[in-house]
């Protein structure tokens, strides 16, 4: 993805957004974006821009998610839903190989070929864009690259929608991941609704993005639109629903493995793994072997795994982390601290999904603040 530098932006309206979906589909891409289904804003394949969640918003809190009607026709004025883009880039179940036993007893194994899909993701939030770059680093870097992920990710066209209305559980500012997009996209949109109408400030971030933009009905950017767009994004930064303590989280978690707060949160945690399933960066998988009743056909599947699963670290002597306390501590400490040791960044992008989709409403920002206050009271809080 070549950076075009200071590319000149443009303005499109709803017809331009419809044209964007059409141009991407005509280019052979599978367009995926937000749409309303089953009482939530979910990610799904779009045949047209009419399927976008125009006029829908969400109400969020810890353990709480509800759709709500808006008084306008905004398309992207909603917070992250239950899915992230890893649903498409690293699907929950992927067959890796299959094997057949012939009537003569010979065994034939076939490796699953890499997928040939060409994705276009429409409406990627800046926090989720950062999550994709984190997964890129985890799954395509190093000695053990995930070939399935690489095949899905290669050539994916990313259309970012900058955030103008954060949810009550959002804290991307604390993690430095939003609400503005700072690169890594093909096109960036900022939605504007005011007395001058409903429109989108659009910029290209790659050569592919510039080619697609050139095919859209558009007009030159104007000061009123760009100013309103920048003000909306800046306003979102001031209205984050959550914050992390303004300290070195890496040092905070590493320095307090025996904090009393771990016992308090363990008393509430169900170790269900919802947070890891909803998280856009959690990447752990396991292998599942299945066979038919005759024993003549077998398959191996790669499936999502969670560090909350008691079998996740099972050794001959038993599980390494037998208690819920140790498993929650492992997840939070890895996400906010030891991820740096492995991959050079935090594993959290501040999207807030783990807070919303926790059935008992555990809030990792609240836990970080509690551990910080406990360490501060003991005189050992990092700066």
- Per-domain boundaries in the chain: 10-92+103-237, 249-377
Q: What is the DSSP string of 255-324?
A: T-TT-THHHHHHTT-----HHHHH-SS---EEEEEEE-TTSSEEEEEEEE--TTSTTTTEETTEES--SH
Q: What is the pLDDT of residues 3-30, one digit of tens each?
A: 333 457 999 999 999 999 999 999 999 9
Angle between helices 207-214 and 14-26 (to 10 degrees): 120
Q: Give the confidence band of 123 by pLDDT, cuts at 50, 70, 90.
A: very high
Hey, what are 88's tokens?
């498409």
Picking from 17-26, 114-123, 312-321, which range would have the lowest pLDDT averaged per residue? 312-321
Show the DSSP H helices in 96-187 as ranges: 126-140, 147-153, 172-175
Hey, what are 4's tokens?
């075009």
Q: Give the confidence band of 316 by pLDDT, cuts at 50, 70, 90.
A: confident
Q: What is the pLDDT of residues 242-285, one digit of tens each?
A: 999 999 999 999 999 999 999 999 999 999 999 999 999 999 99
Angle between helices 364-377 and 324-333 (to 10 degrees): 90
Residues 6 or more apart whose CB falls under 8 angstroms from that of 380 comprise 255, 256
- The mean pLDDT of 282-296, rounded to a whole number, is 92
Q: What are phi and psi of 263, to 5 degrees?
A: -70, -40
Chain-wide mean pLDDT for the chain?
93
Contact 380, 297 (CB under 8 A): no
Q: Is the pLDDT of residue 1 over 50?
A: no
Q: What is the pLDDT of residues 153-166, one digit of tens each?
A: 999 999 999 999 99
Angstrom distance (rounded) from CA 183 to CA 187: 9
Q: What is the pLDDT of residues 41-59, one digit of tens each?
A: 999 999 999 999 999 999 9
Angstrom distance (rounded) from CA 237 to CA 247: 19
- The mean pLDDT of 96-114, rounded to a whole number, is 91
Residue 7, pLDDT score: 56
Q: How many CB atoms lie within 10 A of CB 241?
A: 16
Q: What is the DSSP string of 81-113?
A: -S--THHHHS-SEEEEEEEEE-TTS-EEEEEPP
Name the β-bridge partners of 99. Answer: 109, 298
Q: What is the 3-state secondary structure (H, E, C) of 335-362?
A: HHHHHHHHHCCCCCCCCCHHHHCCCCCC
Residue 318, pLDDT score: 84
Residue 339, pLDDT score: 95
Angstrom distance (rounded) from CA 196 to CA 225: 9
Hey, what are 187's tokens?
């096109």
Q: What is the pLDDT of residues 166-192, one digit of tens each?
A: 999 999 999 999 999 999 999 999 999
């Amino acid at each position: 993805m070549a950076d075009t530098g200071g590319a000149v932006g443009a303005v499109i309206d709803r017809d331009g957004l419809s044209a964007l979906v059409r141009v991407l589909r005509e280019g052979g891409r599978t367009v995926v974006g937000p749409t309303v289904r089953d009482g939530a804003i979910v990610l799904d394949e779009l045949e047209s821009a009419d399927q976008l969640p125009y006029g829908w918003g969400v109400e969020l809190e810890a353990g709480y998610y509800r759709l709500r009607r808006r008084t306008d026709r905004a398309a992207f004025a909603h917070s992250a839903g239950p899915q992230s883009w890893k649903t498409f880039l690293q699907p929950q179940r992927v067959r890796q190989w299959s094997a057949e036993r012939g009537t003569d007893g010979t065994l034939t194994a076939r490796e699953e070929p890499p997928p040939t899909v060409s994705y276009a993701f429409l409406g990627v939030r800046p926090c989720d864009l950062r999550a994709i770059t984190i997964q890129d680093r985890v799954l395509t870097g190093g000695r053990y690259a995930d070939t399935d992920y690489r095949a899905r990710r290669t050539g994916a066209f990313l259309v970012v929608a900058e955030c103008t209305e954060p949810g009550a559980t959002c804290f991307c500012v604390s993690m430095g991941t939003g609400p503005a997009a700072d690169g890594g996209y093909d096109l960036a949109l900022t939605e504007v609704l005011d007395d001058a109408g409903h429109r989108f400030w659009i910029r290209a971030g790659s050569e592919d993005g510039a080619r697609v933009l050139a095919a859209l009905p558009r007009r030159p950017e104007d000061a009123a639109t760009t100013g309103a767009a920048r003000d909306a994004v800046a306003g979102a930064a001031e209205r984050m629903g959550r914050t992390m303590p303004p300290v070195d989280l890496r040092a905070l978690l590493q320095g307090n493995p025996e904090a009393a707060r771990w016992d308090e949160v363990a008393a509430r945690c169900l170790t269900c793994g919802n947070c890891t399933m909803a998280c856009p960066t959690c990447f752990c998988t396991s292998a599942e072997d299945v066979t038919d009743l005759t024993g003549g056909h077998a398959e191996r599947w790669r499936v999502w795994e969670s560090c909350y699963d008691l079998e996740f670290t099972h050794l001959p002597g038993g599980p390494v982390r037998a208690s819920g306390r140790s498993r929650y501590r492992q997840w939070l400490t890895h996400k906010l601290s030891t991820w740096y040791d492995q991959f050079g960044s935090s594993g959290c992008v501040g999207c807030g999904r783990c807070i919303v989709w926790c059935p008992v409403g555990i809030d990792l920002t609240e836990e970080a603040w509690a551990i910080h206050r406990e360490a501060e009271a003991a005189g050992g809080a990092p700066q």
